[in-house]
Structure 1
Amino acid sequence: MGAITYEDGIAILQLIVFPFILVASLFIWKRTGWRVGSKIWRYPFTLSLIRLAGSIATLYSINHETTKVRIAIFVCQLIGIAPLLLAYVGMLRLIDLKKSIPPLLLLLVTLMAFAGLMIGIIGVSTADTTNGYTPGTLSKAAMGLFLAVYVITMLLTTWLFYTHSFTMLRYQKKLFLGTALSAPFLLVRLIFSALGDYTSNKTFSMESLAENNHTSLTAYLCMSVLEEIISMVIAMVFGVSAVLEADFVKPTPEAGREEKPDEV
């Protein structure tokens, strides 16, 4: 049996934390309604599954280190950004009770995230890994879309708060707080990935992570894994608190209509 490395320890941390995020997202999803809630809470649920899959692949590589397993780990690292961002787009949908933001705009932001996801997967899976992984044009384009989604989502959230802050219900304010407090951690998470794609600094490269470079793994832990965990824990805590509020309004499939949540 191979030795447990620094990278494996990070994977074990994710295996411990993300099941709790998965359960929390399922609880909020149920309270919101399985059908309408799927546009919001399926994303943190999906992120949890991706992180668990990536962690399992990392631990599997202890005794089965192959190029395909390493690519699977890289893909899991990359595609987690899309559901992470979409979780906050979903929270924005739930905050926007009055439908002040044009639905077409939110749809466009969502499509941008999915486009980044598809382009990123193709970029990683088709990259030449003979001499190590180097981000190509597609990976850089995907990262650019993810950064754009973050900026647009935060601008829309800020605008919504300043235009409706005096009329927001308690549950809306809690969701906004969840987004606002998570935003700095989410930004650092994205900066880490952007530095890996747009610079030649080996500290932030996937290649260095694969080589178990201590400096790179510490940067990955502090700027990616922990930032992502903290941002999602904050979002889930405020999300659970919001749906338990007496004034929580569950959205319905019909445009412009809402109803009180079913009792649980």
Structure 2
Amino acid sequence: MGAVTYKDGIAILQLIVFPFILVASLFIWKRTGWRVGAKIWRYPFTLSLIRLAGSIATLISINDNSENVQIAIFVCELIGIAPLLLAYVGMLRLIDLEKQIPPRPLALVTLMAMIGLILGIVGVSTSHTTTPGKLTKAAMGLFLAVYVITMAIAAWLFYSLSLALLSYQKKLFLGIALSAPFLLVRLIYSALGDYTSYRHFSIKSLLNSDHTSVTVYLCMSVLEEIICMVIAMVFGVSAILASDFVKPTPEVEMEMNRKERPNGV
């Protein structure tokens, strides 16, 4: 049996933390409503499953450090970025009860993240290597664009609603604002790994358990993600428990959509 390394310790940390995030996301999802809440809270739920799968793959690599296991770790690392970003798009949907944001921008942002997810999976699956290829780099470019657009929409929506914000909306905005710098660092870590030759951001050095690379990974990726999700879950729970929280039922959505149509058509 192989020895448990520093990198394996990080996987154990994720196995401890992400079940709590998974349960919290399920709690908020249920309170929001399974049908409507799926557009919002399925993303942190999915991210938790991906991180748990990646951690299990890392622990499997203790005794089976094959190329397939390494690629599985790499895929889980990459595809987790999409649900991480879309969790904040979902929070904007929950804030924007009166549909201030036109539907197309949010749909476009979601589509970009999904395309990035597909490109990343195909890029890793077809290259049979942990070296980022063109498709992986394209996926990272889309993720960076999703971050910029999401934060721009959040700033615009806050400005539009600032004079009439409900308590639950303020809490969700605060969750997004506090998470933004940590999310940016998380993306910078992946971007440096994809677009530069810096050894300490290389997935290859990480898989080889280079001590400095693993520390950089812990500080710029794992902890940043955990902090982002903890902030999102804390403010998410606080928002849905607020006395003025408006549950986005299908009926409420239909009424808001009716108001959007000209002349009540």
Q: Could you tell me how far apart the structure 1 residues matched to 2:254 and 2:237 are?
A: 24
Match status 1:178 vs 2:175: yes
Q: Could you tell me how far apart the structure 2 residues matched to 1:245 and 1:104 are?
A: 29
Q: Counterpart of 2:261?
A: none
Q: Counterpart of 1:262?
A: none
Match status 1:249 vs 2:246: yes
Q: Counterpart of 1:228?
A: 225
State the percentage of identical aligned residues.
78
Q: Counterpart of 2:112?
A: 112
Q: Deviations over 1:188-227 (max 9, x none)?
A: 0000000000001111010000110111100000000000
Match status 1:50 vs 2:44: no
**Amino acid of the structure 2 residue aligned with 1:249:** V
Q: Counterpart of 1:238?
A: 235
Gaps of 5+ in 2: 257-265
Q: Deviations over 1:80-113 (max 9, x none)?
A: 0000000000001011111010111111100000
Question: More helix by proportion, 1 or 2?
Answer: 2
Q: Could you tell me how far apart the structure 2 residues matched to 1:11 and 1:193 are?
A: 18
Cα contact 1:18–1:52 (8 A) shared by 2: yes
**Amino acid of the structure 1 residue aligned with 2:177:** A
**CA-CA distance at 1:128 after TM superposition:** 4.1
**Amino acid of the structure 2 residue aligned with 1:9:** G
Q: Could you tell me how far apart the structure 2 residues matched to 1:139 and 1:156 are?
A: 26
Q: Matches of residues 123-202 of structure 1 in structure 2 within 5 Å?
A: 123-129=123-129, 133-202=130-199
Q: Matches of residues 32-71 of structure 1 in structure 2 within 5 Å?
A: 32-71=32-71
Cα contact 1:51–1:80 (8 A) shared by 2: yes
Cα contact 1:81–1:146 (8 A) shared by 2: yes
Q: State the superposition RMSD in angstroms.
A: 1.0
**CA-CA distance at 1:253 after TM superposition:** 2.8
**Amino acid of the structure 1 residue aligned with 2:125:** S
**Amino acid of the structure 2 residue aligned with 1:26:** L
Q: Counterpart of 1:261?
A: none
Q: Counterpart of 1:78?
A: 78
TM-score w.r.t. length of structure 1: 0.95
Q: Counterpart of 1:31?
A: 31
Q: Deviations over 1:90-142 (max 9, x none)?
A: 0010111110101111111000000000000111111242xxx2111100000
Q: Could you tell me how far apart the structure 2 residues matched to 1:223 and 1:38 are?
A: 29
Cα contact 1:99–1:256 (8 A) shared by 2: no
